Structure 1
Amino acid sequence: MRHLSRLAALCGVLFAHPVLAAPTWAGAWGYAPADSSAQDPEQPAGTYRYRVRLTQAGDAMQLSFSNAEGDRPLAIAAASIASPSGPLGTDIGGNPVHPIRFSGHLGAAMPRGHTLVSDPVTAPFHAGQDVIVSVTFSTPARPGRTNLGLEMAFAPASTGKPVFTPIQARSYLSLVSVRAAQAPCTVVAFGDSITDGFLALSPQTRGWPGRLAERLAALPPARRCGVVNMGISGNRVLREGRAISALDRFWRDVASVPNVTHVIFLEGINDIGAGGDRGADAVTPEQLVHGYRQFVARAHALGIKVIGGTLTPALHAGYMSPAKEQTRLAVNNSIRNGRIFDGVVDFDAAVRNPAAPSDLRAEYDPGDHLHPNDAGLRAMGNAVDLNLLAPPK
């Protein structure tokens, strides 16, 4: 009995103190890979620099590089991280450079279709911090085109001091994760060009997901979510467009993100616009809703909640028509009322013209009648009800 009393007393001491949760790896930045074409310029062997803004704090960092949709095998000769020397650009000045290793090696092969994950780099990182990631390829590469102003630069291999020139291309860096003492939730922003960041607020913020990250960063620590932007300009839900379909890339661009708890899904306008007005080539509301339900089923199987976004106005965009607009309206009605998703963000209501609801507000329309401008993207980021992103209990 005396031994039992001592054990009970010991248990009382143990349970009187809270058990600290183990650190968690969580996504802090993302850039979904997309295909290149023969029209995209080939780059010689050399070094790419990417400026990324972290949306999650931690005491270590891990990088993923992707050749998932590349047209050739690649070889990484070296990779590193450093702090930028100024508020803009990719220059690192004389700041310390921290080499990145892959299974203990400074370089690694990256065959077509493969993703390469680095060893962790232990150092303190904070939300909102900009980091310059450099990766040197010893092989020529053909990065896919992009219409996004992510700050990046390239320097061809040289025996002298490398000279970096700004470029616009899809990043081979696809995911940045951090080891966080507290990571209540991680949100993947999933969609097409409007999520990708076309006409984005800034190269670092990258559109409405960046604005959402700013809002989340202002919450108490127990409510802060990291945000990973996995939009691809031209992507479709049901079939291959730019990159593989949304349904197929769920596993690559959502399930692979550590600690993912929520997805905000905004996609479908490219399916409608690229289809016909009627007949077999037309995409129907029922087909898109079926695709949405398939996406949600994949997420729910992993315990991930999906918040659906209504499709933003586009009647006078080049690939739209009155018949396609009716499809958009029907899809939005299903999103709002069809119990497809775990919650809804009414992006349509946030940016539409009250006097002409099939059009963007004039102050949000850059002229292509499809992609909201900076002010419109900010309005979209502000439209997300943060209560929808409450950490899992």
Structure 2
Amino acid sequence: MKTATFLAALCGATLISTPAHAAPKWAGAWGYAPADSGANEPEQPAGTYRYRVRLTQAGDAMQLTFSNAEGDKPLAIGAVTIASPSGPVGTEIGTNPVHPIRFSGLPAVALSKGGTVISDPILAPFHNAQDVIVSVTFSTPSRPGRTNLGMEMAFAPATPGATFTPIKVRPYLSLVSVRSAQTPCTVVAFGDSITDGFLGLSPQTRGWPGRLAERLAALPAVQRCGVVNMGISGNRVLKAGRATSALDRFWRDVASVPNVTHVIFLEGINDIGAGTETGPDAVTAEQLLYGYRQFVERAHALGIKVIGGTMTPALRAGYMSPVKERVRQSVNAAIRSGKVFDGIVDFEAAVRNPAAPADLRPEFDPGDHLHPNDAGLKAMGDAIDLATLRRLP
């Protein structure tokens, strides 16, 4: 979408907020799952965050969800606005007009500890792969968790003369939905840091879900899925790690996404790695597969299909060992059997070293032997068979 068109829509007389029940159909177009912040992470003073968001679906209206689901205290949102970015990268809006966002008609809203708030819809044309700048002003201090390296955001304290400087924290914006007559499917990419894109440096393509969205954007609208990235670095399937467990956050981070039709699931390496090799704290293949099946049961209850991803190589990662590697391989073999999920994507095959299959390919390893770099994340996004999204009943 041309910036001028978007700005004209934002400034036009026809732009209004309407009750959510008037929207015919909504679909997820962007996401960032909430997670707790570390004890050593700094508190930010009252001020404004800017988030650069790339939509993965087109529509005639937008709605924003803000979450403090794992925050340590209540927050107060004083104002939210959206605007077009002034350049191809960064969070600057220059002299572009901004449009205020309201919550049940009010410009400010309380965000309780553990709470979520949803904005009034904004009526304007929004296009697939369009970037918007969402600015969120807090009148209280906040302590957001750390995030992946690539997403573009900035912060300015509420002091005279303060300027916006880049910051790397998890956004309080957790979901962007659009309304459209053509929303054939919405994919939630669900997982841990490898889905989150933790070591990805690209501001344009966040993790393998971002690459999937780029590929889907080239399809006709009637075949295009929206993509919502709900990866959390450090997350586990069976118990709380970073954020609550995958099983417990299904309802918050999957079921809450409008029009979700598919989940691409990649998680489990943190369960294996954080456990011991033997004893009650060891995670077995059977335990992890039980967790997978529980996740699938939750999804099937809502008519959602789950595509399972094989876990990527990690033998030389700090928390892995040959014993744990055998668990990973056993789980991957079960995934490939086709008896656990509705479909399969072989992420391991996309990034493993042919000469040492328990390791990442050298060109995909940023040095920690666990998280694929941007090239590896691209290979993972390219490994997804788009036809799978159409073949599943």
* TM-score normalised according to structure 1 size: 0.93
Q: What whole-Å deviation, never above 9, does each CA across 1:229-260 have from its counterpart, x for those lacking one? A: 00000000000000000000000000000000
CA distance in 2, matches of 1:201, 1:149: 4
Q: Distance in 2 between matches of 1:328 and 1:179?
A: 40
Deviation for aligned residue 1:199: 2.1
Match of residue 203 from structure 1 = 203
| Whole-angstrom distance in 1 between the partners of 2:51 and 2:326 | 41
Cα distance, 1:54 vs. partner?
0.4
Task: Measure, in 2, the Cα distance between the counterparts of 1:247 and 1:188.
Answer: 15
- In terms of mean alpha carbon deviation, does 147-156 or 83-92 score higher? 147-156
Residue of structure 2 in register with 1:25 after alignment: 26
The equivalent residue for 2:20 is none
Give the equivalent residue in structure 2 for 1:275. 275
Q: What one-letter code is carried by the residue in structure 1 that aligns with 2:224?
A: R
Distance in 1 separating the partners of 2:95 and 2:103: 25
Quote the residue 1:5 is aligned against: none
Match of 1:154 in 2: 155
Deviation at 1:391, TM superposition (A): 7.9
Equivalent position of 1:94 in the other structure: 95
Tell me the residue number matched to 1:121. Answer: 122
1:274-330 alpha-carbon deviations (Å, 9 max, x no partner): 001112111000000000000000000000000000000000011000000000000
Q: Determine the structure 2 residue equivalent to 1:174.
A: 174
Give the distance between the partners of 2:328 and 2:392, measured in 1 at CA: 32
Unaligned runs of 5+ in 1: 1-21
Correspondence for 2:252: 252
For 1:306 and 1:350, the matched residues in 2 are separated by: 20
Deviates more, 1:200-209 or 1:279-288: 200-209
Distance 2:24 2:214 in 1: 23
Partner of 2:65: 64
Change (3 A) 1:115 1:391: farther
Q: Which amino acid aligns with 1:213?
A: A
CA contact (8 A) 1:312 1:347 kept: yes
Equivalent AA in structure 1 for residue 43 of structure 2: E
Q: How does 1:1-393 map to 2 (within 5 A)?
A: 23-158=24-159, 160-200=160-200, 202-390=202-390
- CA apart distance, 1:37: 2.7
Question: Is the 1:261–1:392 Cα contact (8 Å) retained in structure 2?
Answer: no
Task: State the one-letter code of the partner of 1:294.
Answer: Q
Aligned length: 371
Shift in Å, 1:38: 2.5
Q: Which has the larger radius of gyration?
A: 1
| Per-residue deviation, 1:147 | 3.5
CA contact (8 A) 1:209 1:229 kept: yes
* % identical aligned pairs: 79
User: Distance between the aligned counterparts of 2:94 and 2:391, measured in 1?
Assistant: 39
2:149/2:201 contact within 8 Å kept:
no
CA distance in 2, matches of 1:391, 1:111: 42
The alpha carbon displacement at 1:225 in A equals 0.2
Unaligned ranges ≥5, structure 2? 1-22
Q: Shift of the alpha carbon at 1:338?
A: 4.9
The one-letter code matched in structure 2 to 1:389 is L
Of 355-364 and 226-235, deviating more is 355-364
CA contact (8 A) 1:53 1:205 kept: no
Q: Distance in 2 between matches of 1:184 and 1:351?
A: 30
**Maintained 8 Å contact 1:191/1:231:** yes
CA RMSD of superposed structures (Å): 1.2
CA contact (8 A) 1:285 1:331 kept: yes
Counterpart-to-counterpart distance in 2, 1:112 and 1:361: 42
Q: 1:195 to 1:168 in 2, by over 3 A?
A: same
Q: Over residues 193-223 of structure 1, what are the superposed CA-to-partner deviations in whole Å (9 max), with x where a residue is unaligned? A: 0000112251232011000001111112211
* Aligned 8 A contact 1:185 1:392 in 2: no
- Amino acid of the residue matched to residue 209 of structure 1? P
The 3 A distance-change label for structure 1 pair 284 and 338 is: farther
Residue 27 of structure 1: SS of its match in structure 2?
A: strand
Q: Counterpart of 1:200 in structure 2: which amino acid?
A: G
Partners of 2:366 and 2:39 lie apart in 1 by 29
Taking the aligned partners of 2:346 and 2:36, their CA distance within structure 1 comes to 30
Aligned residues of 1:32 and 1:174 also touching (Cα < 8 A) = yes
SS class of match (2:331): helix
Alpha-carbon displacement from aligned partner over 1:161-217 (angstroms, at most 9, x marks no partner): 541111111110000000112000000000000000112251232011000001111
